[in-house]
Amino acid sequence: GGGLTPQATPVLLGRPGHPEQAGGHPHRQQQFSSLEDKPQFPGASAEFVDKLEFIQPNVISGIPIYRVMDRQGQIINPSEDPHLPQEKVLKFYKSMTLLNTMDRILYESQRQGRISFYMTNYGEEGTHVGSAAALDTTDLVFGQYREAGVLMYRDYPLELFMAQCYSNVSDLGKGRQMPVHYGCKERHFVTISSPLATQIPQAVGAAYAAKRANANKVVICYFGEGAASEGDAHAGFNFAATLECPIIFFCRNNGYAISTPTSEQYRGDGIAARGPGYGLISIRVDGNDVFAVYNATKEARRRAVAENQPFLIEAMTYRIGHHSTSDDSSAYRSVDEVNYWDKQDHPISRLRHYLLGRGWWDDEQEKAWRKQSRKRVMEAFEQAERKLKPNPNLLFSDVYQEMPAQLRKQQESLARHLQTYGEHYPLDHFEK
Amino acid sequence: MAAVAATGSRLLGLRAAGAERRWRRLRGAGLARGFPQSASAGHAAVQRRQVAHFTFQPDPEPQEYGQTQKMNLFQSVTSALDNSLAKDPTAVIFGEDVAFGGVFRCTVGLRDKYGKDRVFNTPLCEQGIVGFGIGIAVAGATAIAEIQFADYIFPAFDQIVNEAAKYRYRSGDLFNCGSLTIRSPWGCVGHGALYHSQSPEAFFAHCPGIKVVIPRSPFQAKGLLLSCIEDKNPCIFFEPKILYRAAVEQVPIQPYTIPLSQAEVIQEGSDVTLVAWGTQVHVIREVASMAKEKLGVSCEVIDLRTIIPWDVDTVCKSVIKTGRLLISHEAPLTGGFASEISSTVQEECFLNLEAPISRVCGYDTPFPHIFEPFYIPDKWKCYDALRKMINY
């Protein structure tokens, strides 16, 4: 089960047709001839027109939003139902809810001064899980910072999420980065970095390398609609198209970049409309519909690998939480707006309705799971709290593969300094 | 005042080679100016472009690496790239215009030899070139990126400094982009002005996590570039463009490496230490000869080769011996890399110094066009600074 019927294939916007001449540049017209009154420009494949007419961008009727379920979790068009088995759909549900539970506890822990910083994923769990489920487990993931559900779906242990947020001895990142900057080599999730959109051209390079290696893998690159304004996004899209890379660009359009609403972020029809400008096959989906996200990602993956070309998926969603623990979004949006999304259009609720409708879930299981997931999170949390921080020598390693002589001198200098002034430093919290 | 001039090095005007030959014949015939004078003979003659401010000094033919071939600097780069792509099937070369051979001919023949999936053009976007290169390296393949002029590296500054340099550290060594090398033409060329002459090494010196390497010659270039490509850290390799054709020497055909982070004492001496890198090494070599001839002063000449991590020990050992240090680079004085060397040396060798450390550098201006002969730290400025140091 789980395969798509031909009719279930979502409609993807094709790229403008470029007649591929034998051995020729796709933009070049037929053989050059000065007798023909047809355009000969190398830069575009188009006909002449003798009426002055500007193209009016259409933002009133934008690119339509593909969905499978309505807001109550009912399948709208049965031929689009991916018919996923119960076990898989339950994994979707449990991943999203476990993430939600972890988010609540870690957000609170920052408020209490236990960790320095946190970012929640409220409202966007569907974008993470639907897409992650449609990939191979070895497909490389480049994220921005609000994709923890991808790691959750790939069974990243709670202990390691917490270890990174606490920067404790168990952190695979060796305590070097702020919370939520996860990375996992084993699960093919490239370590998060704070600068926005820098991962986009990098993901394209990784996809190119995968293509050269005949790896039959796709690279997926997540970013928000705000990051899509960065030059690196433009660079990534253009490189992916010209170099024919097997990559899925996955944009989480959640309505805000910190306090900046989309009306101040762009004037065109969102991110999906930019795709054809680069020659990218593009689609817009309901990001709060985990099956829509799944279907689109699955089909994009199949074709990206088979045809060595990039795909752009714009998943419309809503950032229910604040940007981070450093933000109070009541300063720039109404509580009513947030409540609408929390109550009326939430990926977890919609999937729960679907599960209830199928008879795959009930209130008792819900109660038991809430208790169990909370317990798991609390246990991991308490463990993470108790652990020491890594040895301060890890401040100095991994700058280069080998430690340069001058850096070793600096390391020795700190060691000597601590011998005399150690009492003024929190050495008790760090591994010796 | 009429300037005796000859054509300067012309890297892109290959057709000018013909004019150059005509000019040389006329000059040999005793005419100071080979082109027709204006009717008013007393009027100042039309200025010709200046001779180069340096004389390239080839090193002796290397014996230990097998058969050698006469190569100029761009050919030695091509040779290194050829060796790399032959040895490492994952290696790819990309950037603007590299497919047809590159604007400086460094990649000529490689696309035909290794295929269009391995030597290819990218769109015109430096931040994309470097970001893309990082991604290739993260995936475990060897990425050799070209930035067409070092003056245009700045759009990629974020990718280099915030991403490439920090990839290993921030991930706890789970990920790295060590197999990334960025190559870029660098330094003054006689007529490059603001945007074809820059030496931006100081911007990158301030960035732990990358290596910055600058060769003085074809033999050095090939060995250092091969080391950069093999090095497990992201490297920037700046190629002195004025040397691409002007520097010719015997270079081994087979691959070989020259260690990074090791300066080279190319001439031993006892009275003054002179430190430079790239083209400027040839300037200070000449200054050393001038000092010997005119002042009886014995100079120790050091080519730094790697800017970061730099070889503090070799420079300090030399200054402890000589007691005097002169550092010279084309890049502007303030915040230039000579500041770092000077600061470290005065910390480590304070009691050995006989005179303040001298820095002979470009002025704190953008790199000018017509004023280049006045701007650059030429041998006269270096000589004068050395003389003052000796007399301190």
Please provide the DSSP assignment of B44-55 as one string.
Answer: PPPPPPPPPSS-
Mean pLDDT of A133-145: 98
- Give CA–CA dist B337/B207, Å, rounded: 12
Looking at every residue in chain B, the average pLDDT score rounds to 91
Instruction: Name residue A201's amino acid.
Output: P
For B201, the 3-state DSSP assignment is helix
- Give CA–CA dist B107/B102, Å, rounded: 6
| Among candidates A198, A209, A231 on the partner chain, residue whose Cβ is nearest the Cβ of B162 | A198
CB pairs under 8 A between A and B: 159
β-strand pairing of B264-267 with B299-303: antiparallel
- Tens of pLDDT along A353-400? 999 999 999 999 999 999 999 999 999 999 999 999 999 999 999 999
Q: Please judge whether A195 and B138 are an interchain contact, meaning their C-beta atoms are less than 8 angstroms apart.
A: no
**pLDDT for residue A38:** 92
Query: Which residues in chain A are contacts of B131 at CB distance < 8 A?
Result: 198, 200-202, 204-205, 232, 235-236
Query: Which residues in chain B are contacts of A185 at CB distance < 8 A?
Result: 174-175
Q: How far is B155 from chain A (nearest CA, A)?
A: 9
| Among candidates A234, A399, A406 on the partner chain, residue whose Cβ is nearest the Cβ of B169 | A399
Continuous segment of H or E residues that includes residue B280 = helix B280-295
Query: Which residues in chain A are contacts of B127 at CB distance < 8 A?
Result: 201, 231-232, 235
Residue of A nearest to B120 (CA): A243
**pLDDT for residue B292:** 98
Which phi and psi (to 5°) does residue B134 adopt? -60, -45
Question: HSE (CB half, 13 Å, CA atoms) of B148?
Answer: 19
Q: Please judge whether B168 and A202 are an interchain contact, meaning their C-beta atoms are less than 8 angstroms apart.
A: no
Answer whether residue B1 shows pLDDT above 90: no
Cα–Cα distances (Å) from B83 to B16, B113, B142, in that order, read 32, 12, 13
| Among candidates B125, B143, B158 on the partner chain, residue whose Cβ is nearest the Cβ of A198 | B158
Answer whether residue B27 shows pLDDT above 70: no
pLDDT band per the 50, 70, 90 thresholds, residue B51: confident
Which phi and psi (to 5°) does residue B93 adopt? -120, 135
- Give CA–CA dist B53/B376, Å, rounded: 9
A302 touches chain B (CB under 8 A): no
Active site residues of A: 108, 194, 323-324
Among B119, B147, B154, B174, most A C-beta atoms within 10 A, so best to mutate, is B174
Cα B375 to chain centroid, rounded = 17
| Among candidates B125, B159, B169 on the partner chain, residue whose Cβ is nearest the Cβ of A238 | B125
Q: Please judge whether A404 and B90 are an interchain contact, meaning their C-beta atoms are less than 8 angstroms apart.
A: no
Chain A, 407 to 426: residues with Cβ < 8 Å from chain B are 407
Answer whether residue B9 shows pLDDT above 50: no
Q: Please judge whether A207 and B135 are an interchain contact, meaning their C-beta atoms are less than 8 angstroms apart.
A: yes
Name the catalytic one among B53, B96, B146, B196.
Answer: B196
The structure tokens listed for B64 are 């230990």
Find, among A358, A227, A199, the residue nearest to A291 by Cα. Answer: A358
Give the largest Cα separation in chain A, rounded.
Answer: 88
Return the DSSP state at B2.
P
Among A202, A211, A408, most B C-beta atoms within 10 A, so best to mutate, is A202
The structure tokens listed for B282 are 């040839």
Q: Who contacts A432 (Cβ-Cβ below 8 Å, separation ≥6)?
A: A391
Q: Please judge whether B171 and A191 are an interchain contact, meaning their C-beta atoms are less than 8 angstroms apart.
A: yes
Mean pLDDT of B264-279: 98
The structure tokens listed for B368 are 């000018």
For B34, the 3-state DSSP assignment is coil
pLDDT band per the 50, 70, 90 thresholds, residue A32: low
Q: How far is B356 from chain A (nearest CA, A)?
A: 24
Answer whether residue A233 shows pLDDT above 80: yes
| Among candidates B118, B138, B261 on the partner chain, residue whose Cβ is nearest the Cβ of A404 | B261
**pLDDT for residue A35:** 64
| Among candidates A209, A238, A243 on the partner chain, residue whose Cβ is nearest the Cβ of B141 | A209
Listed range (A213-227, B32-46, B62-76, B103-117) with the worst mean pLDDT: B32-46
A177 touches chain B (CB under 8 A): yes
A242 touches chain B (CB under 8 A): yes
Looking at every residue in chain A, the average pLDDT score rounds to 93
pTM for the whole structure = 0.91
Among B169, B261, B315, most A C-beta atoms within 10 A, so best to mutate, is B169
Q: Please judge whether B131 and A204 are an interchain contact, meaning their C-beta atoms are less than 8 angstroms apart.
A: yes
- Tens of pLDDT along A164-193? 999 999 999 999 999 999 999 999 999 999
Q: How far is A96 from chain B (nearest CA, A)?
A: 25
Q: Please judge whether B233 and A202 are an interchain contact, meaning their C-beta atoms are less than 8 angstroms apart.
A: no
Please say whether the beta carbons of B7 and B16 come within 8 A: yes
**pLDDT for residue A36:** 73
Q: Please judge whether B312 and A405 are an interchain contact, meaning their C-beta atoms are less than 8 angstroms apart.
A: yes
pLDDT band per the 50, 70, 90 thresholds, residue A31: low
Query: Which residues in chain B are contacts of A200 at CB distance < 8 A?
Result: 131
**pLDDT for residue A178:** 98
Chain A, 363 to 402: residues with Cβ < 8 Å from chain B are 397-402
Q: Please judge whether B128 and A193 are an interchain contact, meaning their C-beta atoms are less than 8 angstroms apart.
A: no
Question: HSE (CB half, 13 Å, CA atoms) of A261?
Answer: 7
Continuous segment of H or E residues that includes residue B185 = strand B180-186
A349 touches chain B (CB under 8 A): no
**pLDDT for residue A5:** 42
A239 touches chain B (CB under 8 A): yes
Please say whether the beta carbons of B238 and B201 come within 8 A: yes
Mean pLDDT of B40-66: 80
- Tens of pLDDT along A258-307? 999 999 999 999 999 999 999 999 999 999 999 999 999 999 999 999 99
- Tens of pLDDT along B338-382? 999 999 999 999 999 999 999 999 999 999 999 999 999 999 999
β-strand pairing of B306-308 with B211-213: antiparallel
Q: Please judge whether A172 and B174 are an interchain contact, meaning their C-beta atoms are less than 8 angstroms apart.
A: yes
**pLDDT for residue B6:** 40
The interface predicted TM-score of the complex, written ipTM, equals 0.93
Query: Which residues in chain B are contacts of A191 at CB distance < 8 A?
Result: 167, 170-172, 174-175
Q: How far is A100 from chain B (nearest CA, A)?
A: 25
| Among candidates B123, B138, B140 on the partner chain, residue whose Cβ is nearest the Cβ of A238 | B123
